[in-house]
Amino acid sequence: MTDANNKTLLQVDEPKAEGLETEGALSIEQSSVGKTDENSWKAHWDLLLSFLILSIILILEYGFKIELSRPFALVVNGIAYLLAGRGVLALAFRKSIRGDIFNEFVLMSVATIGAFCISEFEEGVAVMLFYQIGEWFQNAAVNRAKRSIKALLDIRPDEVTVIRNNNTGVVNPSQVNIGETIMIKPGEKVALDGELISENASFNTAALTGESRPDTKYKGERVLAGMINLNTVSEVRVTAAFKDSKLSRILEMVQDATARKSQTQLFISRFAKVYTPIVFFLALALVVIPYFILDSYHFYSWFYRALVFLVISCPCALVVSIPLGYFGGIGLASRNGILFKGSNFLDVMTRVNTIVMDKTGTLTKGVFKVQQVVPEGIEAKELLRLTSALERNSTHPVGKAITDYAPNIEDNTKATNVEEIAGHGLRGTIDNKEILAGNLKLLKKYSIDYPKEIEQIVDTIVVVAVSNRYAGYITIADEIKEDAASAIKAMHDLNIKTVMLSGDKQAVVDHVARQIGLDEVYGDLLPEGKVEKVQWLKDQGRHIAFVGDGVNDAPVVALADAGIAMGGLGSDATIETADIVIQNDQPSKIVSAIRVGKITRNIVWQNISLAMGVKIVVLILGAGGIANLWEAVIADVGVALLAILNAVRIQRIKL
């Protein structure tokens, strides 16, 4: 149970997790329940002693028909009451003197002190005791919910073996510089992002991608912090500082995610701020109004009903179980390689009815291979030399395919004055000649003639011009991801429209669309063209998630209702802009993200319906004099625990 004004946070600033904290004062202000992070019996001796005292009193009274004298009963019950409720009373007092009187702590204090005032000692103790026991179990549930993300924090190593001057030494990862070489032994976790120097190595990437099968990396391929070396001593050249590693950014995303509330959470917080004072005044009215309208008014009876009203009206089940439900959704997604940057995006994904996707790196592997080199007026070797020299200045997968295909062709050739023309290609100078390499739009932009028949080529092509003359083309083929077709089918099963936007020519995107079953495809698009298409879809009232991986996708990712980045191949700019990051680049994870959102929404609304339904029934019974304080506290704590258990259930769901 936590204050309606508070939120659930995960502290991950340090390498070791501080953990999930509910900022209700019972945990922050060191009350009897929250003064320790442990949920052991010893940590709650006061509650157990209070429970023992109450049990003995009830056994004597109802089992042996032995009634304690009023003064003695007051003292003994008072001790049990203070053992259980001193933290709540102290907190209620501190909040009251600050002017915050409409909260659950003041509510519990008023109800229980009122019970003592009318000599209902055991009931007053029971209300406070079971309230605190409920708090205990809820804290345990919160701790359970945090473990999946705390496990992610634990994969960040505190030390790394670095090779300096042919000697090895163990240092903190933050002390390793970019360009240095680190050694990873079998079973060790990779501490920093880098490039594999060894010939090959197998890694467990489950912590980052949710996939348990080994991933074999080869010399020159990227290795990420958080992976576990499986089979051989490996060396990695560091390419990113500790604070800039992909894993560190993931942890920052998780931290931010727990602080961003969903619309449902915000609504419940606002609702609780209004709801709590209303029930206070309704309880007061329940005591005062009958005095003026009934001939036989009995203060004790109506005051007792008001106390029941106060106890059952406590909004604990809502303000704890709902944030816990969303936190569980974020944890479920993270275990499956999907990072939500806020619980609000879990809600957004439930409303998405159109998925717009980029092609390269999203639906295709983005691993291009050169198929043909077709020169015109120039030798093939020369065409490759000029093109590869220019493409060495690009991070695009197409450029990498060309440089990988021609690694030994005059590596000393340098391109100068290189300019990247977004959505077109590259322009630069080699041997005092202006070189253009890119798509057909690039040649059209510079009014360079080319054979029209090359427009019919289905594969991706890079056309080249030397000194404003067409010099030939290179064909490059990409491979569709294994799960792309099944992912599109799953989206259709959810009645979601699928659209692909690409800078590739229309013939290429049409070919891909036919293979995997997309609804609509648009090719030959510049970055601004993608933005226009997405805006056009939004103007039709569509709720859109855009999935991309390139730098030029960042504007569209920002425009969509939910921006999704492919985190493995994706550019840093797109990952930073995105609302959701898919770590293993699988299109099927898009469907998983939607399912996580819907699972979370269903459980949250189950809890809302359960809590409000039970409370309304018992409020009516209490106001009518049918329900007593025992029934009120059992109903309140019971519905809170049921809601918590329902929220924790998210942790066990398998997608």
Task: Give catalytic residues, as residue numbers.
Answer: 358
CA-to-CA distance for 562 and 351, rounded, in angstroms? 10
Please state whether 114 falls in left (phi above 0), alpha (psi between -120 and 50) or beta.
alpha
Give strand pairing partners of 274: none
Give strand pairing partners of 235: 183
Task: With CA atoms as reference, report the closest residue to 498 among 532, 540, 546.
Answer: 546
AA identity, residue 529: G
Task: With CA atoms as reference, report the closest residue to 644 among 327, 321, 328, 322.
Answer: 321
User: Are 590 and 493 in contact, with CB atoms under 8 Å apart?
Assistant: no
Q: What six digits make up the tokens of 59? A: 């056994």
User: Are 385 and 410 in contact, with CB atoms under 8 Å apart?
Assistant: yes
AA identity, residue 367: V
Buried b (16+ CB within 10 A) or exposed e, 151-168: ebbebbbeebbbeeeeee
Q: What is the DSSP letter of 219?
A: T
CB-count burial class (<10 Å; 0-12, 13-18, 19+) for 541: exposed
Task: With CA atoms as reference, report the closest residue to 149 among 224, 73, 250.
Answer: 250
- What is the CB neighbour count within 10 angstroms for residue 492? 14
Residue tagged 């900022």 (tokens) = 23
Which positions ≥6 away from 603 have C-beta within 8 Å?
Answer: 325, 328, 646, 647, 649, 650
Task: With CA atoms as reference, report the closest residue to 334 among 183, 148, 195, 198.
Answer: 148
User: Are 11 and 23 in contact, with CB atoms under 8 Å apart?
Assistant: no
CA-to-CA distance for 120 and 79, rounded, in angstroms? 15
- What is the CB neighbour count within 10 angstroms for residue 451? 12
Rounded to 10 deg, the angle between the 484-493 and 588-623 helix axes is 30
Which positions ≥6 away from 246 have C-beta within 8 Å?
Answer: 193, 208, 224, 225, 226, 240, 567
User: Are 17 and 99 in contact, with CB atoms under 8 Å apart?
Assistant: no
Please state whether 416 falls in left (phi above 0), alpha (psi between -120 and 50) or beta.
beta
Q: What distance, in Å, lies between the first and last C-alpha atoms of the chain?
A: 29
Backbone angles phi, psi at 38, to 5 degrees: -80, 150
CA-to-CA distance for 323 and 608, rounded, in angstroms? 12
CA-to-CA distance for 132 and 34, rounded, in angstroms? 10
User: Are 37 and 141 in contact, with CB atoms under 8 Å apart?
Assistant: no
CA-to-CA distance for 527 and 529, rounded, in angstroms? 5
Give strand pairing partners of 548: 565
Task: With CA atoms as reference, report the closest residue to 354 among 611, 542, 79.
Answer: 542
Backbone angles phi, psi at 473, to 5 degrees: -145, 160
Which positions ≥6 away from 432 have C-beta within 8 Å?
Answer: none
